[in-house]
Chains A and B, each alone.
Chain A
């Protein structure tokens, strides 16, 4: 109980951006992270994700791959452009695709990790905290 409270306190300072076009999945991830104490904001498109990330520099972006128009890979590519403030934001890519085939370069893939959907709530939390704790 004590550790959880301290985790909550720590998590409340951590701002996470959830990018999901499926409204229920968006609600799920946002709710799950909020319940765990994170400071969560969410958007439904790649365009909004880029705008939000540039403006607010979140501590982590949970990014769906299959988005309308600008997809998850393009969002990664845009955020990793040399010189931009968003190059070091960790990105957790989530997808129902079983393979994460990408044509992105190492630079564009820096600080990017993967997480498959569907998932157990505790697994997602564990992964998010692992990234934010720098483990």
Chain B
């Protein structure tokens, strides 16, 4: 019994159950075995023996059954079968007469550890019992080992399962991150390509027209010279606007925009912006209406003005001559909602997200004539969002656009880099 399993096994008591209808014999055997240190119980019939084995047994002890093959109710082989149902590893020693040879052999087939023939030698019985106990102990230890092994297996499987699931989750997260990075990288590449195009196009005009004036000075007339110089000036201004807007946008997106907080009258801002924009286009009537209580907010005056300028400027560019541009404001709780409604060509539903992307332009007849930096709406969106607000556009193709933005009535420090 010196095996690695020893540590797993609690020391077991040894008990013997004698099932024999010969009470004198049972009593004698019982006394001898008790003297030898076994806990002994007896049963005179097969059914009682089964009952004792089932209920009267100490579950902590190993039990060897001495089983008479001839019993008044059941025969020994039948009893053995029943005992095996209760404990498949039951250790049983059959007690047989000379005439029971056949039954004795079949009991061995049924799993009996041994058989002794009456009249038996008590030492032989003791020795069989001892062997049966050793065998039982081996079986118990073996099954404990098996159980331990199974537990380990289950634990191992569980661990593998958990680790696999963990890896799968991590892998999915990584894949998502990779996808996001890919998208970001693509956006960045597109932004750089667009920015480059936006800077190179006016540069083409400036370099081309100026070198043309130098190369062909004697071949161009006064009108052409004036026209070329005007284009050079326009394009230089456009270049300057583009680079300033690019810088603005990247500063806002990097969260480096400093916000101030002052009391502002939105209606006044809208009216002033409308007045300034008349220089660009004076054929569109601008109506400004703010609900009572929605005019005053606490926010950054320059940034608010820029949002109005960009959105109203964009709306004006696309507004046909003689049309109306309505700027309205209303209060909803702690939020002011401003709408800028034009009567221009409108924006198709599938382009509504895109128009806030840098350099995105809807190419229509109006779009070709409109020369902006392509960053106005992106900047407006970036500012509104940096202030903790939202912006979106609605309206149908052919029925005008409605740019709406919502701003907190009072700029909070968590909504931006509030200075002072």
Residues of A whose CB lies within 8 Å of any CB of B are: 21-25, 27-29, 31-32, 35-36, 44, 66, 68-69, 96-98, 117-122, 124
Contacts and interface: CB of A to CB of B under 8 A. Distances in A.
A28 B196 CA distance: 20
Given A28-B209, A31-B224, A119 B204 contact: yes
Interface in B192-211: 193, 196-197, 200-209, 211
Interface of B: 193, 196-197, 200-209, 211-212, 215-216, 219-220, 224, 228, 231, 234-235, 363, 368, 371
A36 B215 CA distance: 11
Contacts of B206: 118
Contacts of A44: 368
Nearest to B209: A28
A117 B204 CA distance: 6
Contacts of A31: 212, 224, 228
B203 A21 contact: no
A120 B220 CA distance: 17
Given A28-B205, A31-B224, A96-B201, A122 B231 contact: no
Mostly, the B contact residues are helix
A68 B207 contact: no
Contact of A25 (B193, B204, B368): B204
Contacts of A120: 207-208, 211
Nearest to B208: A28
A106 B205 CA distance: 32
Contacts of B224: 31
- Sorted from nearest, which 7 A-B pairs have the closest CB atoms? A96-B200, A68-B363, A118-B204, A118-B207, A121-B212, A24-B205, A28-B208
B239 to A, nearest CB: 11
B208 to A, nearest CB: 4
